[in-house]
Amino acid sequence: MNHAPKTIGARIKRPVAAILHRAGVLGALNRAVLKDSAVIFTYHQVLQDHEVRSDLQPGMYVTMETLELHLQYLSKAFQLATLDEIREWGTGTRTFRKTPCAITFDDGWEDNHRNAFRVLSAHRAPATIFLVTEQIGTPGMMTWRQIREMEEAGISFGSHTATHPQLPALTEQQARWELESSLRTLQHQLKRPPTWFCYPKGLHCPSTRRLAQEYYAGAVTASGGVVSRGDDVYLLNRIALHNDVSYTIPLLASRIARIF
């Protein structure tokens, strides 16, 4: 069961993507888009079929079946990489045989451990999960025990602030606390100190970018698009993947090409 979307607009995308895929248009577009580029993908929740409810926001989840489909495709068409490796590629200190892609998850949902972890492990796929530190252990979110288990298996973790506020709306003192408190907590709880930051909802401004530079080695946004060499390492683009726009390979390819 792939939980195909029910809206007319979303349902139209599948046959259009399939036609473009069969005609070779998607392949040509992606070769052009991905030339000398890297890709960072964003996920949130990963759910089993019976966990998908009608009241869930479509942009907040993929099913395990969809994530499995993605990793089968990505592990062949791309070179799975860490964010650190993407940064090294961007500065010219690392090369890849294929287009590098990194997998990230936002928020620290409990299903990242229960569902996504299983799929990632099966494909030996590196990933970074951005944690909201004050929400760890609350209903629906991972516990420190689960986080440490994943860290032992090679999953990386970064900061998504302490409370997930809209950073540009805060004073600089408030924003500094969000970044500093989160970093301090993660340094205390994890074996590998976090080096990456994710702006909540992708929102940032000059002052929050300066703070990110103080505390972290890089930061990611919610802006769609690929990563190019020389991009600002504190404003790296990511492509959001969720079930209603990526539950087939042609739809996934269309998403990468920014058709949908």
Residue 153 included in any domain: yes
Residue 225 within a domain? yes
Contacts of residue 256, Cβ cutoff 8 Å, sequence gap at least 6: 30, 33, 34, 39, 226, 239
| Lowest model confidence (mean pLDDT) among 58-62, 92-96, 178-182 | 58-62
27 in a domain, yes or no? no
Q: Does residue 203 form part of some domain?
A: yes
Tokens of 233: 């390492």
CATH code, 222: 3.20.20.370
Rounded to the nearest 10°, the torsion over CA 51, 54, 56, 57 is 140
Q: Record the pTM.
A: 0.95
CB 140 within 8 A of CB 109: yes
* Length reported for the chain: 260
Q: How many CB atoms lie within 10 A of CB 238?
A: 23
- Please, are residues 96 and 81 in contact by the beta-carbon 8 Å criterion? yes
Is a pLDDT exceeding 70 seen at residue 25? Answer: yes
> pLDDT tens-digit profile of 198-213?
999 999 999 999 999 9
In a domain, 206, yes or no: yes
Question: Which run of H or E residues covers position 105?
Answer: strand 100-107
Tracing tokens 């791309």 back to the chain, one arrives at: 78
Quick check: 20 and 258 in contact, CB under 8 A? no
pLDDT for 158 equals 98
Compute φ and ψ for 139, nearest 5 degrees: -55, 130
Boundaries of domain holding 209: 38-244
Classify residue 109 by its DSSP letter.
B
CB 77 within 8 A of CB 100: no
Domain annotation covers residue 253: no
Q: Which residue has the tokens 């000059």?
A: 206
User: 26 in a domain, yes or no?
Assistant: no
pLDDT at 73: 97
Instruction: Convert the pLDDT of each residue in 136-150 to its tens digit.
Output: 999 999 999 999 999
Determine the 3-state secondary structure of 100 from DSSP. strand
| pLDDT score at 94 | 96
In a domain, 28, yes or no: no
- Find the helix or strand (DSSP H, E) in which 193 lies: none
| C-alpha span between 32 and 76 (Å, rounded) | 18
Under the banding of pLDDT at 50, 70 and 90, the label for residue 260 is confident
Cα–Cα dist 203/223, whole Å: 9
Q: Are 258 and 35 in contact (CB under 8 A)?
A: no
Number of compact structural domains in the chain: 1
pLDDT at 9 over 80: no
Q: What is the pLDDT of residue 3?
A: 59
Q: Name 40's bridge partners.
A: 102
The pairing of beta strand 61-63 with beta strand 100-107: unpaired
Taking all residues of the chain, what is their mean pLDDT, rounded to a whole number?
95
